[in-house]
Amino acid sequence: MGLGDIVQKAMYLGIGVASYAGEKAGEKLTELRSQVQKLADEMVARGEMSSEEARRFVDEMVQRAQQPSVSAPTSESEKPTEPRKIEILDDDEPAPTQTTTTVDEMRQQVADLQEELRRLKKN
């Protein structure tokens, strides 16, 4: 086996790996879009956002997934947008003036929400 054969096989291997990685990335992007669309549909069904907001939400999430991660913005126009703040009010309780939730309570809330999401996915 000559040097030319090794170079040719290495090139074919590189092309194959790049092709496989592209296919996998496409599959993951399709899967992400599907999951984000389901979440948006649920939020529309519960009246938490309009269908137009849901469409923009899905498009933005897919666009973010396609962009390479950047450690720090390089210019003023590239600053990441701040997520909109959502306040959930319970009809039975007056609105809190300041949230004093501890980190452990937040972690428990996240765990509870993840469990509820798993339960909803099974149905």
Q: Would you state the pLDDT for residue 76? A: 54
Task: Give the separation between CA 39 and CA 120, rounded to whole angstroms.
Answer: 11
Task: Give the separation between CA 54 and CA 36, rounded to whole angstroms.
Answer: 9
**Any idea where the domains of the chain sit in the sequence?**
1-68
Are the C-beta atoms of residues 54 and 61 closer than 8 Å to each other? no
pLDDT digit string, tens, across residues 14-71: 898 888 888 888 888 888 888 888 888 888 898 888 888 888 888 888 888 877 765 5
Model's pTM, two decimal places?
Answer: 0.42
Q: Would you state the pLDDT for residue 1? A: 66
